[in-house]
Chain A
């Protein structure tokens, strides 16, 4: 197995070490699936070309994968959606919603 050679960590740095799936076409370093950036580049070469990924993107993707896996495992359809009480509070009937919207209980979220 070729380990991923991308440097990771915030305070204590180290090599990622996961199984590499590609080589960066610019610098030749081995890169794993998690660190593969746009155009198959490693994160540093991608950054050098101004292709910065949003810092939250990777976390969001991991969160998504986790929830999807759990959702399937537990057979819970909406496990994925992950809304909490704070999210729900804004959708209570008394939560400053357009009152006329509530009158005839029309639930359509979108109209063509």
Chain B
């Protein structure tokens, strides 16, 4: 019988930033409650059931083609998984409405970790989703956020988005993402090119990888420089961007779905790391706390990123900010930093110290522990 449960409508583990986040947040929850139940999505080679000490991992493996049907099927499935623990369950930690619905029916305290809002993100992938459907999803979000005992957000932008959806400001807590320090002597990846600029992450439109490719096309005169894209998604999903890179004639090396443990080495040996997020509603209204930026900082690599409130929150003056969606400005910033390697190194070092002093995953977990303390006290 478990006292705690963590539910996420995400595949876990995976190469995505969300999986890194789940790993640390769930670890804090399960350490505190002596184990617990983890309900996540399965698929691929992942087992449907695992028992790791006191932690039981159950994965939803049904094939349901329609996304809404799949989300609802997940909720029903999760409710069945939670039912045997109803008497002992003290706390449920969720990441989305599909996890929150079954958690609410248990009567346990609910911590809603709002890293994103489906009503904002879904239309990017499902352009035919009607406004009325999105407003229903928003209503669902509002219901779950209002019923939560605590809402955890990674940035001030999303803090505003959740309070606009009715979450009481006294129940919303800021827990920025973090990154673990990278040892200074981490070996260079064997397949790494000589000098390279790196992008790490997924390839959704809001990531602005197309802007980076266009910027890199303007750096064609730097013949010893390669762009390395460590994509967290498969080559098939990178197809449109690969085509764009070919058309622009960019010198690029694709690395797909490399294990998270290897990413630090790629970051540490790069000249620069770029986070070219776009100025769309996903980044401006919803917000995020990009793990790629945190991890680049922890690796001591200078970051060039879009000048957005969410990035300013993370990077402060420990990186170089450029206007979003402007390839020429991005290319200029990269070129300037490459021409002043001392300044670039200094920027990276300062960023690394900033992360070590207050934004490692250990710090994030301590902040989450404070939230659990408060939830338990009420």
Contacts and interface: CB of A to CB of B under 8 A. Distances in A.
Interface of A: 60, 64, 68, 71-72, 75, 77-78, 80-83, 86-93, 95-98, 100-101, 103-112
Nearest to B234: A104
A88 B68 contact: yes
B310 to A, nearest CB: 11
B194 interface: no
A95 B122 CA distance: 13
27 contacts: A64-B139, A72-B105, A78-B72, A83-B68, A83-B136, A87-B136, A90-B129, A91-B68, A91-B69, A91-B126, A91-B129, A95-B126, A97-B128, A100-B239, A101-B125, A106-B11, A106-B14, A108-B9, A108-B16, A109-B121, A110-B18, A110-B117, A111-B115, A111-B202, A111-B204, A112-B21, A112-B288
Contacts of A90: 126, 128-130, 133
Given A87-B130, A97-B127, A111-B204, 20 more contacts: A64-B139, A71-B105, A78-B75, A81-B101, A86-B132, A89-B128, A90-B126, A93-B66, A95-B126, A97-B126, A98-B126, A101-B237, A104-B237, A106-B14, A107-B9, A107-B67, A109-B9, A110-B10, A110-B18, A111-B116
Nearest to A108: B10
A110 B101 contact: no
A52 to B, nearest CB: 17
Contacts of A81: 72, 75, 97, 101, 136, 140
Nearest to B42: A107
A100 B140 contact: no
Interface residues of B, number: 63
B233 interface: yes
A92 B130 CA distance: 13
Given A87-B133, A104-B234, A112-B288, A92 B140 contact: no
Interface in B226-263: 233-234, 236-240
A98 B121 CA distance: 13
A89 B68 CA distance: 9
Contacts of B70: 107
